[in-house]
Amino acid sequence: MNLKYRGIDKPTDVLSFPQIKHLRKFECFNHAIPLGDIVINTYQAKKQAEEHNFSPYKELKWLLIHGLLHLLGYDHEKNRYQAAKMRRLEIELLKNII
């Protein structure tokens, strides 16, 4: 899927497919809207969980958060500032979910 949709010929852990290209801030609070789809490569997640010394469940939660932030418009590939901002949000959100 990474090759097909991103042109990158190597495995990835998570892909996000937005339904809406430009979500205006707080637009989603007015009504329910589909943000998009998140596809998690569970094989890659299991491998990464071992590398990060996480449980597979924690790694799946991290990847779900990562994919959701992409659907909300965050992009760690833009620059270091955006990458750091996204990472801080991932850590904060991971602390607050079961």
Number of domains making up the chain: 1
Q: What CATH code is carried by the domain that includes residue 53?
A: 3.40.390.30
* Tens of pLDDT, residues 86-97: 999 999 999 988
Positive or negative, the CA dihedral 90, 96, 97, 98 is: positive
Contact 35, 68 (CB under 8 A): yes
* Tens of pLDDT, residues 10-55: 999 999 999 877 655 555 566 677 889 999 999 999 999 999 999 9
- Secondary structure (3-state) at 58: helix
d(CA 56, CA 11): 18
d(CA 40, CA 33): 21
Range of the domain at 43: 2-95
Total-model pTM: 0.85
